[in-house]
Amino acid sequence: MTHKPIRKAVFPVAGLGTRFLPATKAIPKEMLPIVDRPLIQYAVDEAREAGIEQMIFVTGRGKGAIEDHFDIAFELERTMAERGKDLSVLEPTRLGPGNCAYVRQQEPMGLGHAIWCARDIVGDEPFAIFLPDEFMHGSPGCMAQMVAAYNQTGGNLISVLEMPRDKVSSYGVIDPGARHGALTEVRGLVEKPAAKDAPSNLIISGRYILQPEVMRTLENQGKGAGGEIQLTDAMAKMIGQQPFHAVTFDGKRYDCGSKVGYIEANLAIALERGDMADEVRAIAKALIAQ
């Protein structure tokens, strides 16, 4: 059986980034770099690897730097060309008019509301969602792994990771059904359960493939936890109506919504880079020895 391809991805990037103030006072948190590439760029690269063609950014006030980043910087490119510098470093930052769209979330009403803001561009087809501060690092990328699973199962999928039971209370957790390798049937979703009440240790980790019916569910949905329109609530209503599976990501996750996770990601990626790994390792050893 063939399923409608995943051609569009939604990136909810309207958040204020208050945990990183004052760095995010004038710069979107999604533009904070992991070594020399912004978080949002890693997410877009992951989407492209998975065959996604159109990137939909749900933005807010003060997020113009994201739009500038994916535009052509004519003056910069001309100056670099005149100086004989390599322009290939900018190639991933170019998104043409047919490959990106920007919509505004005018009020901070939650993740579910942010996704709903993209309904007209998503239209009547399945789509992916990326939370950029969940930095998923692996090869193939998380979304490529999910698209491969979607091509088998159709329906809705979420990425999950195994987490020590004593830490699951900070996350959304799945109630698992039958498991086949990396693929697990989802029977229910629980938001931030107490460790003793958690139905599993599989946490939802920032990547989704959803059918367009979720938009209709979000349209009529009231506010949930925190007084916000929660995506988890809308997904939970679709369980039993359509196939719903979780894909255990084969790779590393860095929580770049936290300062410690962000520093960990920078260090991990730097230690993988041939142009700096030895120097960074020596610096880290020297700092630890102090």
pLDDT at 224: 62
**Fold for the domain defined by 8-257:** Spore Coat Polysaccharide Biosynthesis Protein SpsA; Chain A (3.90.550)
pLDDT at 229: 74
pLDDT at 195: 83
Which pTM was predicted?
Answer: 0.93
pLDDT at 168: 85
pLDDT at 108: 76
Torsional sign, CA 116, 246, 164, 201? positive
Integer-rounded Cα Rg, in Å, for the chain is 20
Question: Distance between CA 112 and CA 171 in Å, rounded?
Answer: 16
pLDDT at 227: 61
Per-residue pLDDT of the chain (290 residues; tens, 9 = 90+): 678 999 999 999 998 889 999 999 999 999 999 999 999 999 999 999 999 999 999 998 888 999 999 999 999 999 999 999 999 999 999 998 889 999 998 887 788 899 999 999 999 999 999 999 999 999 999 999 999 999 999 999 999 999 898 888 888 889 889 999 899 999 988 888 888 888 898 999 999 999 999 998 888 766 666 667 778 888 888 898 889 999 999 999 999 999 999 999 999 999 999 999 999 999 999 999 98
Q: Could you identify the residue written with the tokens 């004519």?
A: 74
Please give the backbone phi and psi of residue 262, each rounded to the nearest 5 degrees, phi first.
-65, -45
Pseudo-torsion of CA 46, 14, 8, 212, nearest 10°?
Answer: 130
pLDDT at 234: 87
pLDDT at 273: 94
Q: What is the DSSP letter of 286?
A: H
144-169 per-residue burial string, b: 16 or more CB within 10 A, e: under 16: bbbbebbeebbbbbbbbbebeeeebe
pLDDT at 79: 95
Q: So where are the chain's domains?
A: 8-257
